[in-house]
Amino acid sequence: MATMTLSKILLLAFAFFFTYIEGRVHGKTKPNHLHIVSLISLPPAPAPAPGPAPARAPQAASPSYYTDSPTPGPSPNLVRSLANVYNVLSFGAVGDGDTDDTQAFKMAWDTACFQNEPAILLAPDDYSFMIQPTVFTGPCKTSLVFQIDGTIMPPDGPESWPSKTNKRQWLVFYKIDGMSMQGGGVIDGRGEKWWNLPCKPHKGPNGATLPGPCDSPVAMRFFMSSNLTVQGLEVKNSPQFHFRFDNCQDVTVQMLSIKSPPRSPNTDGIHIENTNNVQIYNSVVSNGDDCVSIGAGCHHVDIKNITCGPGHGISIGSLGIGNSRACVSNITVRDSVIKRSENGVRIKTWQGGYGSVSKISFHNISMETVRNPIIIDQYYCQTKNCTNQTSAVHISDILYTSIKGTYDVRSPPMHLACSDSVPCTNLELAEIELLPAHGQFVADPFCWNAYGAMQNLTIPPISCLLDGIPQYIGQNTIDQCQDNLY
């Protein structure tokens, strides 16, 4: 009798546990009736327009992360998670790569976002989901995980894009606080048809552009959001920037693989603008533009263990376009590899801007056949018609240490072209060893109005640096961005 009673108790306990788990995981079965109407809001303002074997040479110390592609972090065991799981298949998604699954993602987002406890929005593996241009709006009631284990993709090219929809962005995450986008899946931007628009630089003769519509979407844009993590994903072939963060705070990006062809125009890997307290770690970027680009209004950014190239290197800028103000400070780039790229570590500003770039550190960077491994360009211009102007963003307190490797002999190993009217000041260089990738001739660095010092002997020597601090920089220029320095 006692044995029978115990058996009944165990059976009831198992049934309760199974019912509890079944209730917390919204699985792959589709509901018979869908009456939910998405509460997703209208998009925010559009994103601004963007804009043979090498010779043996001394190398910077290898970073701890040095592989051709990152290993995505393992997907969490969703059944064991304490969070509710909202599988987009349960909201009507098909996942065949052709069917429009936008509404299913919107409804899953709205449902997860309005929960009072942590939630997971799941795009499961073995499915490919086509999503139209969409804004996922917060704030949500609690933290949210967007788990991408399958593939998500936009419509295939300009002709498939909704006619009355903004063509400058695909997926936007707006006013989100506390979200992780992660998984072992793929974000495929399907960018080839956008790259081949007649207006793109490589389509006209000698790199010229041809008339015609030119707007192309950023794949993933985060706008006015905070406490964000993006990790573990493969992201490829965006029509324009792969990731863009505007007006965001406290962002961590890590263990990403970002890839697009070397001639894909304006396909920056990660771009940040007016975004602060950022960590970009342990990722591989190969594309047709900057691997990482830092725009105006950014400070306290740490970039570590990035393998970059082919591409255009890691850039601060461009800054000061259209006589605008730009303040950038407290940026560190360290323990990284740049290979077969048009630039290495770069600061680029337009003539006519104002503000400052200061407290920048480039440390322990390995260069492999890179044009312009170290470059400051205060005459940045995308046409041949830029006029000379007297104002400029002030560049100061820039530290280059342990930058070693080989450079492409088409350009000098160091190019420090500072403004005529606002010189660069306090440039410091130490442990620089840059040798030609081909041949034995070591080119001289180029300097213009660049003030600074070598802390020890560099290869090649930088005899063109000017000593001291120029006396004619106006104090108003230097003080314009003091609020951003600390």
Q: Which two tokens stand for residue 303?
A: 């970039």
- Residue of 214, 345, 191 lying closest to 261 (CA atoms): 191
What is the rounded CA–CA span in Å between residue 47 and residue 61?
A: 38
Q: Cβ of 224: how many Cβ atoms within 10 Å?
A: 16
- Residue of 54, 53, 61, 52 lying closest to 404 (CA atoms): 61
How many helices (H) and strands (E) the chain has is answered by: 4, 31
Q: Pick the catalytic residue from 26, 242, 300, 312.
A: 312
Q: Would you say the C-alpha torsion 157, 163, 165, 166 has a positive or negative sign?
A: positive
The DSSP output letter for 386 is P
Contact 370, 340 (CB under 8 A): yes
Starting at the edge strand found earlier in the chain, the sheet holding 345-349 runs 134-137, 169-174, 218-223, 243-246, 270-273, 292-294, 314-319, 345-349, 374-377, 414-417, 446-448
- Find where tokens 């303040």 sit: 327
Q: Would you say the C-alpha torsion 324, 208, 240, 414 has a positive or negative sign?
A: negative
299 is catalytic: no
CA atoms within 13 A on the CB side of 388: 5
Q: Which two tokens stand for residue 82?
A: 């304490």
Contact 280, 248 (CB under 8 A): no
Q: How high is the pLDDT of residue 386?
A: 85
Strand duo 144-148 + 177-182: pairing: parallel
pLDDT, averaged in runs of 10, over the chain (486 residues)? 43 38 41 39 42 49 45 45 87 98 98 96 98 97 96 97 94 98 98 92 65 88 98 98 98 98 96 98 98 98 98 97 96 98 97 96 98 97 85 97 97 96 96 94 95 93 92 58 60
pTM above 0.95, yes or no: no
What distance, in Å, lies between the first and last C-alpha atoms of the chain?
Answer: 75
The DSSP output letter for 311 is B
Question: Helix, strand, coil % (nearest 5) of the chain?
Answer: 15, 40, 50
